[in-house]
Structure 1
Amino acid sequence: MTETHDYQLRRNCFGKLEFIGPDGEIHTGVVPVRAFPISAPADGIALVDPYGHELAWINELGDLREEPRKLVETELAQREFMPVITRIVSVASFATPSTWQVETDRGAATLILKGEEDIRRLTPPALLIADSHGIHFLIPDRSALDQHSRRILDRFL
């Protein structure tokens, strides 16, 4: 069990994250949620119960001691899956829906772009692309992509 401020975090025998409040009440199935997952991933993390009620707020992940920080980081890693696109290999067509072949930091992938509205502009020059299966792909800096990838991307922006 690890103390953090006036609450404790631990993992139960089923692997679920538990929050023990200052009153001793135990909440099982706690989920950390980032307020700014792209622009400030280590700042502003809420610990919420399974019903979405906020139990605690973490201003900066680095403020936590090692054990609770590892618990929160592990839970975030299991919950979040956002491959980073490093290269756009090809697109089946420039009309949507369109099948894209991309290279990511997790290997080659195929995504289906339903419409141009599924490419969201974040803090420049970042983009977030949602495929038809709900997976979000991140392009942190579109100007860092190779010329071929930028040309393909420009046709959809």
Structure 2
Amino acid sequence: MATTQFNLHRNPFAQLILTSQAGEVFEGVSPVRAFPIQSPAGCISLVTTDGREVAWIDSLDDLPEGVRQLVLEELGGREFMPEIQAITGVSSFAVPCTWTVSTDRGVTAFVLKGDEDIRRIGQASLLITDNHGIQYLIRDMFTIDKHSRKILDRFL
């Protein structure tokens, strides 16, 4: 499936307005990633407020720069999934315990309630959910530093 042809801009209320190639106008569209972990830069649907898909994006690289920036801004405001780059420490190897991690959004600490809050996504990715329901992503557990990998091995 190819990227749908459309134009995108914001109205005075900061809502995204999509104009299709046929001239149809859709107010308040939202981008939704089909595969947010495995394919974050592709397979994005633009949907109306009632959930109807009005455009499809195969790859963000297919879009003009201005439209790509609008889609990325909107996704950034809707999605919050920090990516763990290193695990600097844990309070205990028994749960619940407090993890101190370095993420793409800065250093933070969170409480891991149980081992079941660490889920495998595919072959190498992990999704860790803290006690507040915030999800942290480890994109590839085999490429993180040795210290972080040792800590992970204790919980997997």
Deviations 1:115-141 (A, max 9, x none): 222212123222121212232212122
SS of aligned partner of 2:142: helix
Q: Structure 1 length as normaliser, TM-score?
A: 0.83
Unaligned runs of 5+ in 1: none
Closer/same/farther in 2, CA of residues 146 and 66 from structure 1, 3 Å limit: closer
Q: TM-score, normalised by structure 2?
A: 0.84
Q: Does the alignment pair 1:70 with 2:69?
A: yes
C-alpha separation in 1, matches of 2:104 and 2:64: 29
SS of the residue corresponding to residue 133 of structure 2 reads coil
**Aligned partners of 1:66 and 1:148: how far apart in 2?**
39
Where does residue 125 of structure 1 map in the other structure? 124
Which amino acid in structure 2 is aligned with residue 100 of structure 1? W
SS of equivalent to 1:67: helix
Asked whether the 8 Å contact 2:26–2:48 carries over to 1, the reply is: no
User: Which residue number in structure 2 is paired with residue 47 of structure 1?
Assistant: 46
Matched, 1:26 2:26: yes
Superposition misfits of 4+ residues, deviation over 6 angstroms: none
Q: Secondary structure at the match of 1:152?
A: helix
Give the CA deviation at 1:76.
Answer: 1.4
C-alpha RMSD over aligned residues: 2.0
Aligned residue for 2:145?
146
Instruction: For 1:87 and 1:112, locate their aligned partners in 2 and report how far apart those are by CA, in whole Å.
Output: 16
CA distance 1:23–1:124, change in 2 (3 Å): same
Q: Percent identity?
A: 53
C-alpha separation in 1, matches of 2:95 and 2:54: 42
Structure 2 gap segments, 5+ residues each:
none
SS, match of residue 143 in structure 1 = coil
Residue 112 of structure 1 deviates from its aligned partner by 1.6
Q: Look up the equivalent residue of 2:113 and give its one-letter code.
A: K
| Cα distance between partner residues in 1 of 2:26 and 2:52 | 14
How far 1:88 sits from its partner (Å)? Answer: 1.3
Offset of residue 77 of structure 1? 1.9
Amino acid at match of 1:96: V
Q: Which amino acid aligns with 1:95?
A: A
* Residue 96 of structure 1: how far off its partner (Å): 2.5
Note the C-alpha offset of 1:23.
5.5
